[in-house]
Amino acid sequence: MHKKTEMAQHNLKLFGIEAAKGRWVFVAIGLLINICLGSIYAFSVFRKPLESLWGITSSQSGYPFMVFLAVFAVTMPLAGNLIERWGPRMTATLGGLLAGTGWIAASFSADIATLTLLYGVIGGAGVGIVYGCPIAVVVKWFPRHSGLAIGLTVMGFGVSALLIAPLMKAMILQPEIGIMHTFLYLGIVFTIAIALLAQLLRFPPGEWNPAGSGTLNAAPVPPALSLNRQAMLKTTSFYALWATYTIGCLAGLMAIGIASPVGTEVAQLDATTAALAVSLFAVFNGLGRPLFGALTDKLGPKHTAVISFAMTLSASLLLFFFGQGNSMLYLLAFCVLWMCLGGWLAIAPTATGMFFGKLHYAQNYGIVFTAYGAGAILGTLLSGSIKDITGSYLHVFPIVAGLVLFGMLIAAIGLNPAKIDQAR
């Protein structure tokens, strides 16, 4: 029976090629889906035109972005249940239809409150439902050494703004298209693209294991665990992972939120150069995902987390002490900060599979991902408050340094695989 299973696995074909090679097509599919989903990171392109159109403040123009990210983070744990019940194809199709509907409905908005409701809530929920699907598929097709594959899959979300923002700008500036039709046309494209790509997603049969997968160098793999959500929540490993993920996202999202004003106010760049710098940072945000994913495969989550925190600590302290008027240091430090944020979006999903098993992966990572939402909210509130109190964004960085030191301590003590006896 065992030999028959091995033969079936060996003869399995994906997209007309041997499964061990064909499974990389799922990574490409996931990357393309994430490029559609990650267009939220380019929302800043809409803000000035919306402020002019409706006479709203800069705070108000940020509401759709903030609500979108919050709903995205809240929906992820709920979507984990759907993926287990319906499978990735149907779940991603539903999410894609919702995400696209959010964009399309937004085009009929008459004010910022309606736009926040239609785009932020409906679009955010759609992205929250889709986001976990390609990751869950890739994790199961790569039962070991999944870090690089996950990193490449979610890289699309990181580099999306780099590709989509210029397109959005060009469309908004076209008199026959304008702001609202940009929402409409992009919504139609995203709906069709995600719905079609979703049809290709599927899990492997049973405990699929590619031939020769055990020969690669990788972090030591503990005995296989299959913790469900309830069992995972009883482990100290979960709380250590959630806390370090929150700190990693908080530090990174704080840097993303203030990159442009720090460039003009602290590094004394002109507005055009600061905007170009943000495009450069987006590249590093994308590259951080496969890089730290591969490192997690090689070194394990604990050592990779400590490396990420050490890089963030160095960048933050250098900026605080020597950043004033230093444009080269600003560019270098923010490339590192954006790369480390991207890295956490590969470290955490890889660690979830390593620590708690792949069987209930979609549900488990949905809960772990709430750390991203917590980091986004805390990071935005902290950076704004520190600027208001001290009058300078520079004072954000010693706070970040203190937080990542705390994160390094948690990682060193608690970022370990769950124990076998915790599965019972």
Q: What is the pLDDT of residues 122-164, one digit of tens each?
A: 999 999 999 999 999 999 999 888 999 999 999 999 889 888 8
Average pLDDT value for residue range 76-99: 94
* 13 phi/psi in degrees, rounded to 5: -115, 145
pLDDT of residue 143: 87
Q: Which helix (H) or strand (E) holds 18?
A: strand 17-18
Q: At residue 275, does pLDDT exceed 90?
A: no
Q: Is 282 helix (H, G, I), strand (E, B) or coil?
A: helix
pLDDT band at 271, cuts 50/70/90? confident
Q: d(Cα 412, Cα 390) in Å, to the nearest integer?
A: 33
| Chain Cα centroid distance, residue 70 | 13
- Per-domain boundaries in the chain: 8-198, 225-419
Measured between alpha carbons, how far apart are the two ends of the chain, in Å?
A: 29
User: Where does residue 224 fall: left (phi above 0), alpha (psi -120 to 50 degrees), or beta otherwise?
Assistant: beta
Q: Is 218 helix (H, G, I), strand (E, B) or coil?
A: coil
Proportion of the chain above pLDDT 70, given as a percent: 93
Closest CA to 187 of 168, 162, 201, 160: 168
Residues in the chain: 424
Q: Is the pTM of this model over 0.85?
A: yes
* The token pair that represents 135 in the structure block: 């990751």
Q: Which residue has the higher pLDDT, 224 or 340?
A: 340
Closest CA to 338 of 396, 410, 261, 258: 258
CATH classification of 225-419 is 3.20.20.70, yes or no? no
- What letter would DSSP give residue 222? P
CATH classification of 8-198 is 3.40.50.2000, yes or no? no
Q: At residue 378, does pLDDT exceed 90?
A: no
Domains 8-198 and 225-419 share a fold: yes
* The token pair that represents 92 in the structure block: 């991603």
Q: Which long-range contacts (CB under 8 A, 24 or more apart) does 380-387 make?
A: 380/66, 380/253, 380/254, 380/257, 382/250, 382/254, 383/254, 383/257, 383/258, 387/258
Q: At residue 36, does pLDDT exceed 60?
A: yes
Mean residue pLDDT across the chain: 88
